[in-house]
Chains A and B, each alone.
Chain A
Amino acid sequence: MVKKIEDGPDVIFIDRHLIHEVTSPVAFLGLKSRGIKVLFPEKTFATADHNTPTINQHLPVEDPLSANQLRALEQNAHEYGIRHWGLGHENNGIVHVVGPENGITLPGATIVCGDSHTSTHGAFGAIAFGIGTSEVEMVLASQCIMQPKAKSMLIKVNGKLQKGVTPKDVALFVISKLSTSGATGYFVEYAGEVFESMSMEGRMTVCNLSIEMGARGGMIAPDEKTFAYIKDRTFTPKGKDWDKAMEYWKTLKTDKDAVYDKEFVFDAAVIEPMITYGTNPGMGMGISKAIPEAEMVEGGKVTYIKSLDYMGFHEGEAMLGKKIDYVFVGSCTNGRIEDFRAFASVVKGKRKAKDITVWLVPGSHKVEDQIREEGLLDILTEAGFVLRQPGCSACLAMNDDKVPAGKYAVSTSNRNFEGRQGPGSRTLLASPLVAAAAAITGKVTDPREFL
């Protein structure tokens, strides 16, 4: 912290700043109109992801508005001396996938990005959160941000997860318990056996979804797994710098006597594969359950019924067996190698269902390469699936990957808001395993049948 303003926010120094094409152009315009430079260009990293096509990336981008934003990012990065990974660059991909992949994300670092899923980087014990464009401009201009102090929340999940239950299910379960605003104003720390034994990819999925219960950020204390993941990556400190950083990182353990403003403890054994049935990520349940009655839910009944109407669902209905039109595997939530391994493990030796469109979109070129190297692509191809090129894709449908009005999509992304995946689209959030089960049956299916 650079300074504490009396009766005001804290001025926090930012170690790593990630930018993309959608939320940065107006920030650069602001800098220009004020006539100021970027204070620490080497601490900002630019990648193109939100708007990018996921096929034929070698061709010019067809949509003139998207092309214009991509060009603006490139020009601004060039003008201000910022590292830029545009379309086709080997390091290109979704901002929250390429950050950790390239060693930009480090324990104890303060990391911001004009994207709410910046909480992802908390998986490494970084203090990471999403910001608006005015704040992007602040960071470019001063490498600082002004934030009021957040309250602290501990979420503990003890015990062992059942077979077929993934990090995504743990997160959707917690959000369903806390609601979409249950952690607003809090910074969450995840602890307990479930998170300790989770892979780094899984931890990223969990921290990524912190914002979906309103949290400013989410974090898991760094351990040997964290250090093993970051070692020798492109921007990770090397040699003596690594030793020095390690000394610091080893001090980042959770204080045994830490007191939190709020604590929740859950038992891993009760978590099933999850699916959402409504229009916010808090409206989720175990896949074998029935959609709750309006009387049973907290909050406004009118909003609840409006949400079910939009989805074309009714109170008390089962989700299993519902027909699905689209499947999307990807996004900063579930677009990493582990997610494609999970998907491939279910579809191996089976066939894609007829009448279903499946978009498999890796989170980065590195993930794409790994899918090939591990032989997963062969499994996917044999089962009738096609692998696309990296980007945010159908998670927010800014590019052409849009789910048509009224159609149902099982999606491994993070938001099931009205029209999120295209105007009128209906999204069911779930894990890559549930997505895989839907992709081969064409229906909402319990993936445990295939494990």
Chain B
Amino acid sequence: MAYDKFNVLKSTAYPLPIENVDTDQIIPARFLKATERKGFGDNLFRDWRYHPDGSLKKDFVLNDPKYSGTILVGGKNFGSGSSREHAAWAVYDFGFRCVISSFFADIFKNNCLNIGVLPVQVSESFLDSIFEEIYKDPTTNLEVDLKEQKVTLLTTGQSENFVINGYKKHNMLNGFDDIDYLQNLKPEILEFSKTRPF
């Protein structure tokens, strides 16, 4: 199923400089009961964002009117824990198209790539610069250029290249997904299945 194409994203960003943000924080298990991919954005970071009575926690970054944008900047080891794709859906559904961190957990990173959210891994020092600039000026814009594999802090001009494999990059630039690819590989798959011992 095709998703949005990703080309160049220029946006302000939300800073979340906490390490090891796990998928239970991104979306707690009690909100995984839907049978459709709808409404997960409302519960993104549910227990950090809302008090138990449903009122907003004013000091949490997503509730701070100073911040805006379609980029989420997180601390090291972002997305650890459960394989729930609901975490990536919640990030997408809230409006993010890109997550920047100095390190991502594997399954979360894969899930993001599979739904058209770009995970961008930068060095720790560049991540620190990004946080610093956003805290200095919340209207700081970042530019994420997928074709050039480059992320730039537009206030300072600092930039860094990021890694993505050619296949996934092609998919994201064009909004293709893996099933489109695998459907075309069916003859090879059926042939290969005969070689398995069980």
* Chain A complexes with chain B: yes
A29 at interface by CB-CB < 8 Å: yes
Look across to chain B and name the residue whose beta carbon is closest to the beta carbon of A214: B105
Separation in Å of the B69 CB from the closest CB of chain A?
Answer: 23
Q: For window 150-198 of chain B, which residues contact chain A by CB distance below 8 Å?
A: 165-168, 177-179, 181-183, 185-186, 188-189, 192-193, 196-198
> Does the CB pair A116–B35 fall under 8 Å?
no
> Does the CB pair A134–B111 fall under 8 Å?
yes
> Does the CB pair A34–B198 fall under 8 Å?
no
> Does the CB pair A415–B33 fall under 8 Å?
no
B97 at interface by CB-CB < 8 Å: no
> Does the CB pair B189–A398 fall under 8 Å?
no
Separation in Å of the B78 CB from the closest CB of chain A?
Answer: 10
Look across to chain B and name the residue whose beta carbon is closest to the beta carbon of A133: B85
A contact residues around B76 at 8 Å (CB)? 181, 299-300
B63 at interface by CB-CB < 8 Å: no
With known contacts A9-B165, A417-B25, A303–B20 Cβ distance under 8 A: yes
Q: For window 21-60 of chain B, which residues contact chain A by CB distance below 8 Å?
A: 22, 24-25, 28-30, 32-37, 47, 52
> Does the CB pair B182–A9 fall under 8 Å?
no
Segment from A65-73, A261-269, A371-379 that makes contact with B: A65-73
B contact residues around A245 at 8 Å (CB)? 197-198
Q: For window 116-173 of chain A, which residues contact chain B by CB distance below 8 Å?
A: 116, 118, 130-135, 137-138, 141-144, 146-148
| Bitwise interface map of B from 105 to 122 toward A, beta carbon under 8 Å scored 1, else 0 | 111001100110000000
Q: Report which of B1, B165, B178, B197 forms a contact with A108, defined as CB distance below 8 A.
A: B197
A contact residues around B15 at 8 Å (CB)? none
Separation in Å of the A149 CB from the closest CB of chain B?
Answer: 11
Total A-B Cβ pairs within 8 A:
199
Look across to chain A and name the residue whose beta carbon is closest to the beta carbon of B165: A8
A114 at interface by CB-CB < 8 Å: yes
The answer for the CA separation of A245 and B77 in the assembled complex, in Å, is: 40
B contact residues around A29 at 8 Å (CB)? 35-37
A contact residues around B34 at 8 Å (CB)? 25, 65
The answer for the CA separation of A148 and B113 in the assembled complex, in Å, is: 12
A115 at interface by CB-CB < 8 Å: yes
> Does the CB pair B24–A423 fall under 8 Å?
no
The answer for the CA separation of A33 and B30 in the assembled complex, in Å, is: 27
With known contacts A300-B19, A396-B29, A214–B77 Cβ distance under 8 A: yes
A250 at interface by CB-CB < 8 Å: no
Separation in Å of the A294 CB from the closest CB of chain B?
Answer: 13
Q: For window 4-57 of chain A, which residues contact chain B by CB distance below 8 Å?
A: 5-9, 11, 13, 15, 22-23, 25-26, 29-30, 33-34, 36, 39-40, 50-51
> Does the CB pair B81–A7 fall under 8 Å?
no
> Does the CB pair A131–B25 fall under 8 Å?
no
> Does the CB pair A134–B85 fall under 8 Å?
yes
The answer for the CA separation of A5 and B197 in the assembled complex, in Å, is: 24
> Does the CB pair A241–B88 fall under 8 Å?
no
With known contacts A34-B1, A138-B178, A184-B103, A214–B80 Cβ distance under 8 A: yes
Q: Report which of A22, A134, A144, A148 forms a contact with B189, defined as CB distance below 8 A.
A: A144
Q: For window 217-242 of chain A, which residues contact chain B by CB distance below 8 Å?
A: 237, 241
Separation in Å of the B61 CB from the closest CB of chain A?
Answer: 14
Which of B104, B107, B183 has the most chain A CB within a 10 Å cutoff?
A: B107
B123 at interface by CB-CB < 8 Å: no
Q: For window 197-256 of chain A, which residues contact chain B by CB distance below 8 Å?
A: 214, 216, 237, 241, 244-245, 248
Q: List 14 A-B contacts (CB under 8 A).
A: A7-B166, A7-B167, A22-B33, A114-B83, A114-B85, A131-B110, A135-B114, A146-B182, A181-B20, A181-B77, A181-B80, A214-B77, A418-B25, A420-B29
Give A contacts to B, CB under 8 Å: 2-3, 5-9, 11, 13, 15, 22-23, 25-26, 29-30, 33-34, 36, 39-40, 50-51, 63, 65-66, 68-69, 72, 106, 108-109, 114-116, 118, 130-135, 137-138, 141-144, 146-148, 180-181, 184-185, 214, 216, 237, 241, 244-245, 248, 280, 299-300, 302-303, 306, 396-398, 405, 415, 417-420, 423-424
